[in-house]
Amino acid sequence: MTTVENHEFPMARTCPFAPPPAYEEIREEEPVSRVRLPDGGQAWVVSRHEGVRTVLNDRRFSADRQHPDFPQLVKGEAASRRPDEERTLIAMDAPKHRPARKAVLGEFTVRRLEALRPRIQEIVDGQVDALLAGPQPGDLVDSLSLPVPSLVICEMLGVPYADHEFFQEHTVKVIRQSTPPEERWAATEAIQGYMADLIAEKEENPPDDLLGRQIVKLREDGTYRRTALTGMGFLLLVAGHETTANMISLSTVAFLRNPEQLAMIQGDPGKTLNAVEEMLRYFTIIDAATARLCVEDIQVGGQLIKAGEGVLALGYSANRDPRAFENPDELDIERGARHHVAFGFGPHQCLGQNLARMELQIVFDTLFRRVPTLELAVDVDELPFKDDANIYGLYRLPVTW
């Protein structure tokens, strides 16, 4: 019996290419079960693909992280919150969530993103040039993984890339689990203050960038508030570079460890989009964003979850569920894994998912075409994986060619 006595969440990965071992035990023996949280509280974990999608798509589960009963995945996290803190999209519930999401959704349509493709290709080519011109071994994180999504999201938002070291330094503190609550809040406040000042500068004469267009649109709708747009900008800036950067690094390692899979996309770039989906499923770098609070009694997987109880929807476990994916622990870029939940599911599904897909596709096709002899400069067990972060990835990736 999987009980609150023998499992505490969140769990660390013991292998960079597999979920925590207990995930399989929980998923197979008791897929909806009680666990301990770092602050001594309890919550339910939902671990099968079907159950996770149910939780993420049902309004009876709230995303309001400021609610006092919301499950805390980092010790002391509640103490770092402020009651007057502006709720971002990921922490909103209906009816406020839909119009807030709709206001910015037009910035991420396939048509608008396709118009960005040439510029993204130019950015990727420039960073590969820099990698090849630099010393060996080179660090792929510094040369490619981090600069590409950072440059893209900065240009979209209208954030000066010259300030990227500032927001990257503070982002690391925000997502690292071991950061003291006071330091995490100070880092969050620093990024938000930076964003508020930038938006204030744009208000007088809004430029043709995402933030500028939002100022114009929201003013026309009579709903403009600087604090709300600051929260949106903060979310897009942090999530828009950190997640994709880690996926570039992790996927590169996976390709280099599985040359037969890499050969498929090198021989047929038409397979790269499927490879992107498989990498997203295989690594599932975020689990914490899918915590929820039950606000009305509901049955999930035959288990009654009561109002006021916290729930952790384990996306990584769901993406390794053999009921949804055949041989789920194998990396198979031809499996067709579009029903994964790496971007979440339901109304809070990742806003920038198509941008991430495009960036990953362009990076993989360009990197392995231009640097076909790329290889790891150290053994995999020497790589510094982000075992202490809420967004999994790599701190450095030494490579040669």
| pLDDT, tens only, 345-374 | 999 999 999 999 999 999 999 999 999 999
Per-residue pLDDT band for 4 (boundaries 50, 70, 90) equals: very low
Which pLDDT score, from 0 to 100, does residue 181 have?
Answer: 83
Residue 6 in any domain: the answer is no
Nearest 5°: phi and psi at 42? -130, 160
Q: Tell me the average pLDDT of the chain.
A: 92
pLDDT tens profile 197-209: 999 999 999 999 9
Task: In whole angstroms, give the CA distance from residue 61 to residue 64.
Answer: 9
Q: Which residue has the tokens 């982000």?
A: 386
Residue 266 in any domain: the answer is yes
Per-residue pLDDT band for 182 (boundaries 50, 70, 90) equals: confident
Residue 399 β-bridge partners = 138, 376
Residue 4 in any domain: the answer is no
CATH of the domain at 254: 1.10.630.10
The CB-based long-range contact list for 274-277 (8 Å cut-off, 24+ gap) reads 274/333, 274/334, 274/335, 274/336, 274/337, 275/333, 275/364, 276/251, 276/357, 276/360, 276/361, 276/364, 277/336, 277/337, 277/338, 277/340, 277/357
Which pLDDT score, from 0 to 100, does residue 228 have?
Answer: 93
Segment 158-181 mean pLDDT:
87
Segment 327-343 mean pLDDT:
94
Which pLDDT score, from 0 to 100, does residue 2 have?
Answer: 44
Q: Determine contact, residues 303/363, Cβ cutoff 8 Å.
A: no
Residue 14 in any domain: the answer is no
Neighbours of 285 (CB within 10 A): 21
Residue 241 in any domain: the answer is yes
Task: In whole angstroms, give the CA distance from residue 282 to residue 287.
Answer: 13
Residue 12 in any domain: the answer is no
Please check the confidence at residue 329 and state whether its pLDDT lies above 90.
Answer: yes
Q: In 3-state terms, what secondary structure has residue 352?
A: coil
Structure tokens at 157: 């938002």
Per-residue pLDDT band for 287 (boundaries 50, 70, 90) equals: confident
Residue 160 in any domain: the answer is yes
Residue 217 in any domain: the answer is yes
Most confident among 40-44, 233-237, 260-264 (mean pLDDT): 260-264
**Residue 401 CB partners (closer than 8 Å, separation 6+):** 132, 136, 371, 373, 374, 375
Higher-pLDDT residue of 177, 249: 249
Please check the confidence at residue 11 and state whether its pLDDT lies above 60.
Answer: yes
Which pLDDT score, from 0 to 100, does residue 158 have?
Answer: 96
pTM of the model: 0.93
Q: Domain tally for the chain?
A: 1
pLDDT tens profile 39-96: 889 999 999 999 999 999 999 999 998 899 999 887 665 545 555 567 888 899 999 9
Segment 233-247 mean pLDDT:
91
The residue range of the domain holding 43 is: 21-400
Task: Look at residues 207, 334, 322, 326 and name the one whose alpha carbon lies nearest to residue 267.
Answer: 334
Per-residue pLDDT band for 304 (boundaries 50, 70, 90) equals: very high
pLDDT tens profile 118-129: 999 999 999 999
Q: For residue 215, which amino acid is it?
A: I
Which pLDDT score, from 0 to 100, does residue 81 have?
Answer: 56
Per-residue pLDDT band for 241 (boundaries 50, 70, 90) equals: confident
Q: In 3-state terms, what secondary structure has residue 45?
A: strand
Segment 105-126 mean pLDDT:
95
Chain Cα centroid distance, residue 31: 24
Q: Which residue has the tokens 């747009």?
A: 229
Q: Determine contact, residues 46/301, Cβ cutoff 8 Å.
A: yes
Neighbours of 203 (CB within 10 A): 14
